[in-house]
Every structure is written in structure tokens, then in C-alpha cells.
Amino acid sequence: MSMAKPVTTKTAGCSETVDEGINGYLVDIKSVSALANAVNQFLTQTHEQQLTMGLAGRKMAVNEFDDKKIAIRIHENNR
């Protein structure tokens, strides 16, 4: 996500970071057909749509997972 690339996953901890069709696709583990479908969905998008999807992931990474923001949240929660 931080590299502005769409994410395809459905593993623990990662599922919460993917907004289906917005910044990636949620694909069942060990499902070749689901992975092929997600890749096909991505490849049928225009270049601009693909870039938008990647940038949506980057925006989430910066807004939600920035180390400084996380440190501030941890500090505030431990007061």
C-alpha cells in the first residue's frame, strides 16, 4: 500500500486494510480462481483507474499507519 500498489489478500491483519475494489481485492487464501478473478478485474480497468486504486491504498497507509501518528495514539491511550 505504501508503494501505491493495489493489494490482493485475505490474510489475518491485512483484510482490515483493504477496501474491496477501492485499494485492492480480498481473495480467499489458496483460491486460484479467486486470485485469477481479482487479477482479471484489475487488468480490465483503465490505467487511470489502476493508478487511482493504488493511490487510495497509499492514502490509507499514510493516514492510518504512519509511525508518528501511531506513536501519538499509543501515547494518548496510555495517559
Q: Give per-residue pLDDT as tens, 6-62.
A: 877 787 777 788 889 999 999 998 899 999 999 999 999 999 999 999 999 999 988
Q: Give per-residue pLDDT as tens, 62-76.
A: 888 888 888 888 888
Helix %, strand %, coil % of the chain (to 5): 55, 10, 35
- Predicted TM-score (pTM) of the model is 0.74
Measured between alpha carbons, how far is 76 from 27 in angstroms, rounded to an integer? 35
